[in-house]
Amino acid sequence: MEELVARCLVEERPRHRYGMHDLVRLYAAGRAREEDSGAERAAAFDRLLEWCRDGVEAAARVLYPENLRLAPGQPRRDFADQRQALDWLDAELPTLVAVAAHAARCRPRPEVWLLADSLRGYFVLRLRIREWISVAESGLRVAEELDDQRAQGAMRHSLGLAYSRCGDSVAAQRHLRRALASHQSAQWPQGCAAVLVCLGGAYFQQGQLGPAVDALEEAAEIAGRHGLAVQETAALGDLGEVCRDLGQFHRARDHQLAAIARCKSLGMSRGEAVALANLGFVRVELGELGLAREHLDEAHRRFAALGSRDGEAYALIGLAAVDRGVGALSEALDLAERAVRDAESVDDSSLVVEALLARAEAARRLGRPAEAAADAERASSLAAAQDYRRGLARACLELGAAELARDRDEPARQHCGRAVRLSREQGYRSTEAHATTLLAELDARAGRAEDAAAHARTALSAHRQTGHRAGEA
Q: Which residues of 336-363 are buried (b: 16+ CB within 10 A; e: fewer)?
A: bbbbbebbeebbbbbbbbbbbbbbbbbb
Q: What pLDDT is stored for residue 42 in this prediction?
A: 81
How confident is the chain (473 residues) per 10-residue block, as mean pLDDT? 69 71 74 76 90 95 91 87 94 95 94 96 93 98 97 98 90 97 96 97 90 96 96 96 93 96 93 97 96 98 93 98 98 98 90 97 97 98 93 96 96 96 91 92 90 84 62 46
Domain formed by 268-366, architecture: Alpha Horseshoe (1.25)
Alpha-carbon distance of 396 to 319, in angstroms, equals: 22
**What span, in angstroms and rounded, lies between the C-alpha atoms of 389 and 426?**
8
Write down the pLDDT at residue 34.
77
pLDDT at residue 240, as a whole number: 96
Domain ranges of the chain: 1-35, 268-366
What is the predicted pLDDT for the residue at 469? 52
